[in-house]
Amino acid sequence: MEMDTEPLGRILVDEVLQALDRGEIIETYLEDTPYPSCLILGGTVAEQPIHIVCAPVQSEERLIIITTYRPDPNRWEADFRRRKRP
């Protein structure tokens, strides 16, 4: 439901899969529970940036998608890898 109402444009499941395929981990959250998680920056075929917060659970061979969103250019640097400082 959140992907349908994303403020910067609806996110499709295919876009999430494309972003995961093309993405890279830009932050890690090792202290997250119940599983450590990470922030992935990926792009779609249309070269639209997407952030995906997920928890890879290797022992269970699955990936838990926590949230996904289009990074706001007002809050992120131009490369979408770092948050802008206040």
Q: With cut-offs at 50, 70 and 90, classify the pLDDT of residue 1.
A: confident
80 falls within a domain: no
32 falls within a domain: yes
Residues 6+ away with beta carbon under 8 Å from 76? 82, 83, 84
61 falls within a domain: yes
82 falls within a domain: no
7 falls within a domain: no
What pLDDT, on the 0 to 100 scale, is given for residue 36? Answer: 97
Of the two residues 51 and 1, the one the predictor is more confident about is 51
Q: With cut-offs at 50, 70 and 90, classify the pLDDT of residue 56.
A: very high
The answer to whether 27 touches 53, Cβ cutoff 8 Å, is no
Q: Name the domain count of the chain.
A: 1
Is the full-model pTM beyond 0.75?
Answer: yes
What pLDDT, on the 0 to 100 scale, is given for residue 7? Answer: 87
